[in-house]
Chains A and B, each alone.
Chain A
Amino acid sequence: MMLVRWIEWLRAHLRAVVRVGYGVLALLVVADALPWLVDKSHAHTAAERLPGFWSVFGFAACTIIIFLSKWYGHAGIMRGEDYYDE
């Protein structure tokens, strides 16, 4: 099937896919710094005018969510699947 072959091609070239991914991330930050490309006149706060602000925000948000949630879960919220069984 076409779709499966396509996925398998991507998996076979995983290193290249990851490298392209890094390239896209870098391009995004660069584009964010170009005023003629990304018009920041409607930004709500001063911090948002910094180039790559939302990149840092995105990565930080993701990290905080993962670590904070896991800490919370392991503090006694996560229990065995049979917890409610009598």
Chain B
Amino acid sequence: MSSFWVHPALVMLAGAAVLPLVPARARRGWLLLVPVLAFVRTLGLEPGTYGEVRFLDWTLTFGRVDRLSLVFGYIMTLMAVLATLYGLHVRRVGEHVAAWVYVGGSLGAIYAGDWLTLFGFWELMALSSVFLIWYRGRPESLGAGYRYLLVHMAGGVALLAGIVLQYHATRDLAFVALDVNAPTAATYLVMLGFILNAAVPPLHAWLPDAYGEATFNGSVFLCAFTTKTAVYALARGLPGLDLLVPLGVIMAVYGVVYAVLENDSRRLLAYHIVSQVGYMVAGVGLADPDTPVGQLALNGACAHAFAHILYKGLLFMGTGAVLHMTGESRFTRLGGLYPKMPWTFLFTLIGGLSISAFPLFSGFISKSMIVAASFEDHRLWAGFGLMLASAGTFLHTGLKVPYFIWFGENHCAPAVWERARDPGWNMNLAMLLTAILCVFIGCYTPYLYAMLPYQPVTYQPYTSYHVAETLQVLLFTALGFYVFLKKLTPEPTISLDTDWFYRMGGRAFLRLARGPVNALDAWWGELYRRVGLEGLMRRARAAGWFDQRVIDGAVDGLAAAVRAGGERLRALQRGPVQESLLLALGVTVVALLGVVLVRVFLP
């Protein structure tokens, strides 16, 4: 073990801890510097095991660096750079702190070498990312945030239960692949925790609920980290679990179906995360370290996660720019914006072509690895199912989103139209850089392929057959869009999803509980009055005499002091409760991690 090893998560967490203290003049510099430092740190990592800490009876491993964690750490920190640049002008310091703690949680989970460390950072991600939803400040975002938190806490409990059972059976905390050929209750509980974060239906409804409701900048972070960290965890812990293949294909198609119905551009993109992560989940299900097809599948899952983080980030940046500039994200309230926001249109289109896997764009070289693996594994239904979802992806993200925001009928309210223009330089630059990366990855395959876990990568996406196949599917989908355009006109509705059960279930519970709870409350009050009050009154009369003569003098002085203190405390507490919570969370987390990780430098 090296005596000096800086965890990339520590860079982000320390940066987040210091951020509130940085004077406003230097804040932008700090915002740019810290993610770049974290990115540079991941570039300097060498495979090995670092940051081992004794904790009670266990050895926690904070830094397990191998090819799988390297590629995920690389793209996560790169995305942190781009997303922070995109939100550089955001004045709420707490939002940046939450985003960076969230990134730190993701990095901590990726380099975790044992289940406990993984679990700690896993929960940190949920706790910090919820603030990216709450900072939107609407009453709806408050509700969506609480639902997000509750669902993720439930997933966390499942994961923890799985970890405990696994430890009980093996007496080993090392975060390595579970035996997927003989799955136990522990395997399924761990899987449940992972696939909830990967948004596998029916455990996916938190995703569109939250990502559609988060701040314009928060969604850019959210769309990258939670689901892709879950893909990493699946690839690490459950590669080759056969159940993941059908789940992945169902996901891919499910997201596409809901995207047809969706009227909110960011919720539509959220459903396409479900769809795209479906490819990765299927890829992990097909993974097998011992066969060429299995290696291709796992490489494909990693490559697709890498490409997806960039193009989905770009898409959320584009629609986020529309929301930020106009205050509107629904198709039925937008349209015809191309003369007002032409560059945002171009960048969003590049994101749309990348997610649709057009040749020369990033999705083409990554998605096809998973599709090819499913065909070569002779799972034709999986291959054709994923191709079907590809058509749907282009239909919505490549065509519907750009068309109904920038073309189509103009439904903009006068105020929306007036406000609409391309965003500030930092948002444009972030979109430009991300768009360049999407095209670069698609054109120069060795950049991404050389980073994948299994080397050498012999897969060649640019064959005449694959190009012809893709172009036909995509362009004939475009024909379908043109022919059925009327049918696709967005409607001002929301779509019920599996969150209906807990949203309406919660209300039913409240209504049911109101009666009994009220009755109990009344009964308790009566009991208290009868039993407690009699004795109390008698004692009070005696105490009153003593009080009047002796205590009053002393108390008057004390009361003045208490009042002054209370005033000061009240001033402190006026900030929204979420902000105080965030501060408390941030300080605790950074202090804890600081102590643990500093012990690594100074053994």
Contact = CB atoms under 8 A, between A and B. Distances in A.
Nearest to A22: B479
B343 interface: yes
Contacts of B256: 65, 69
Interface in B468-501: 468-482, 484, 487-488, 491-496
B157 interface: no
A12 interface: no
Contacts of A52: 472
Contacts of B495: 73, 77-79
Nearest to B481: A62
Interface in A21-48: 21, 24-25, 28-29, 31-32, 37-40, 42-45, 48
A28 B475 contact: yes
A1 B342 contact: yes
Contacts of B469: 48, 54
A28 B472 contact: yes
Most chain B Cβ neighbours within 10 Å, of A21, A28, A55, A76: A55
B36 interface: no
A54 B491 contact: no
B342 A25 contact: no
B468 A77 contact: no
Contacts of B513: none
B487 A70 contact: yes
B183 interface: no
A54 B468 contact: yes
Given A58-B391, A79-B494, A25 B465 contact: no
Contacts of B339: 4, 8
Main secondary structure on chain A at its contact with chain B?
Answer: helix
B463 interface: yes
Contacts of A16: none
A42 B468 contact: no
A26 B388 CA distance: 21
A42 to B, nearest CB: 6
Contact of B493 (A59, A72, A80, A84): A80
B443 interface: no
A54 B342 CA distance: 33
B488 A54 contact: no
A84 B472 contact: no
B261 A78 contact: yes
B465 A42 contact: yes
Interface string B76-89: 00000000000000
A62 B261 contact: no
Interface residues of B, number: 49
Contacts of B491: 78
A52 B468 CA distance: 9
B487 A54 contact: no
B387 interface: yes
A59 B477 contact: yes
A65 B476 contact: no
Contacts of A24: 475
Contacts of A55: 472-473, 476
A73 B260 contact: yes
B447 to A, nearest CB: 25
A34 B289 CA distance: 38
B342 A4 contact: yes
Interface residues of A, number: 50
A62 B480 contact: yes
B503 interface: yes
A32 to B, nearest CB: 5
A82 B542 CA distance: 60
A62 B473 CA distance: 9
Contacts of A80: 493-494
Nearest to B371: A44
B391 A61 contact: yes
Given A61-B473, A84-B503, A31 B468 contact: yes
Given A7-B342, A28-B468, A43-B465, A58 B492 contact: no
Interface in A1-17: 1, 3-4, 7-8
A69 B261 contact: yes
Contacts of A64: 388
Contact of B475 (A43, A44, A58, A68): A58
B444 interface: no
B494 A25 contact: no
B375 A44 contact: yes
A27 to B, nearest CB: 10
Given A29-B472, A43-B465, A61 B387 contact: yes
B346 interface: yes
Contacts of B503: 84
Given A3-B343, A39-B465, A78-B493, A58 B260 contact: no
Contacts of B463: 39, 42
A61 B468 contact: no
B493 A54 contact: no
Interface string B445-477: 000000000000000000111001111111111
A25 B468 contact: no
A75 B373 CA distance: 36
Nearest to B503: A84
B260 A69 contact: yes
A18 B391 CA distance: 20
Given A44-B383, A62-B481, 8 more contacts: A21-B482, A28-B475, A44-B380, A58-B476, A59-B479, A61-B387, A61-B392, A81-B493
The 10 A-B pairs with the shortest beta carbon distances in the complex, nearest first, are A62-B480, A58-B476, A69-B260, A58-B473, A61-B391, A54-B472, A44-B375, A78-B493, A73-B261, A59-B476
11 contacts: A3-B342, A25-B476, A28-B471, A32-B472, A39-B464, A62-B477, A63-B480, A65-B257, A79-B494, A81-B494, A84-B494
